[in-house]
Structure 1
Amino acid sequence: MGYWQPGTQYNNGDVVTYNGRDYKIIQPHRSQSDWAPDITPALWGAMQGGGGGGYGGYNNSDCSSGQSQQTYQPPPQPQQPYQPPQPQQPQQPPPPQYSYGNDNKPSQTQQPQQPQQPQKQDSDSDGEGKSSKKAWLIGGGIAAGAALLGAAGLAVHKHNENEKDEAEWIDRADRRTKQFYNNGPTSPCTWVLNRGKSIPQGAIVVGQEHSWTLYIGRAYHKGSITPGKASDVFKKGAVIGYSHDEIHKDTYEILLGDMNGLKWVDASGKLNVGALGKTPVDGGVDTDGTPLYVARAQHKGVYHPGKCSEKLKAAFIPYDGGEVEVSNYQVLCYA
Structure 2
Amino acid sequence: MILNYVPLNEFEVYCKENWDIQPEAGGMPLEPPIFDSPFDLIQDAVYFIPSTQDLQPQSSAIVGGHEANGDPLYIVRAPYEGGIYPGKASPKESVYISHDGREINIHGKFERLVGDQSCVRWAHVDGRFYYGRLGGAIPVRGGTEPPGAALYIAQASVEGGVHCGKVKFDSYAAIPLNGSEIIAESYNVLVFCD
TM-score band w.r.t. shorter chain: 0.7 to 0.9
CA distance in 2, matches of 1:286, 1:333: 19
- After alignment, is 216-225 or 189-198 more displaced? 189-198
Query: Quick one: which of 93, 97, 111 aligns to 1:253?
Result: 111
Offset of residue 211 of structure 1: 4.9
Query: Quick one: which of 216, 221, 241 aligns to 2:98?
Result: 241
Offset of residue 205 of structure 1: 1.3
For residue 192 of structure 1, what is the amino acid of its counterpart?
Answer: I
- Whether contact under 8 Å (2:55, 2:92) holds in the other structure is no
In terms of fraction of residues, the more helix-rich structure is 1
- Whether 1:316 aligns to 2:174 is yes
CA distance in 1, matches of 2:71, 2:173: 22
- Whether contact under 8 Å (2:57, 2:91) holds in the other structure is no
For residue 286 of structure 1, what is the amino acid of its counterpart?
Answer: E
Report the TM-score when normalising by structure 2: 0.73
Q: Deviations over 1:149-201 (max 9, x none)?
A: xxxxxxxxxxxxxxxxxxxxxxxxxxxxxxxxxxxxx6221101112132351
What's the C-alpha RMSD, in Å, of the aligned pairs? 2.0
- Whether contact under 8 Å (1:116, 1:280) holds in the other structure is no
- Whether contact under 8 Å (1:290, 1:311) holds in the other structure is no
Structure number with higher relative contact order (C-alpha < 8 Å, ≥ 6 residues apart): 2
Offset of residue 115 of structure 1: 5.0
Structure 1 runs (4+) greater than 6 angstroms displaced:
none
Identical aligned residues as a percent? 34
Report the TM-score when normalising by structure 1: 0.43
What pairs with 1:154-303 in structure 2 (closer than 5 Å)? 187-199=44-56, 201=58, 202-209=60-67, 210-234=69-93, 237-250=94-107, 251-276=109-134, 277-303=136-162
- Whether contact under 8 Å (1:188, 1:261) holds in the other structure is yes
Offset of residue 208 of structure 1: 2.4
CA distance in 2, matches of 1:280, 1:290: 14
What pairs with 1:114-133 in structure 2 (closer than 5 Å)? 115=33, 117-118=35-36
- Relative to structure 1, is the Cα distance of residues 115 and 307 closer, same or farther in structure 2, using a 3 angstrom cutoff? same
CA distance in 1, matches of 2:118, 2:153: 17
CA distance in 2, matches of 1:215, 1:309: 20
Q: Determine which structure has more spread, i.e. the larger CA radius of gyration.
A: 1
Offset of residue 261 of structure 1: 1.1
Offset of residue 317 of structure 1: 0.4
- Relative to structure 1, is the Cα distance of residues 332 and 319 closer, same or farther in structure 2, using a 3 angstrom cutoff? same
> In structure 2, the residue corresponding to 1:271 is in which secondary structure?
coil
Offset of residue 232 of structure 1: 1.9
For residue 92 of structure 2, what is the amino acid of its counterpart?
Answer: V
In terms of fraction of residues, the more strand-rich structure is 2
> In structure 2, the residue corresponding to 1:304 is in which secondary structure?
strand
Q: Which residue of 2 aligns with 1:136?
A: none
For residue 331 of structure 1, what is the amino acid of its counterpart?
Answer: V
CA distance in 2, matches of 1:316, 1:289: 18
Aligned residues: 154
Structure 2, unmatched stretches of 5+, are 1-10, 12-31, 38-42
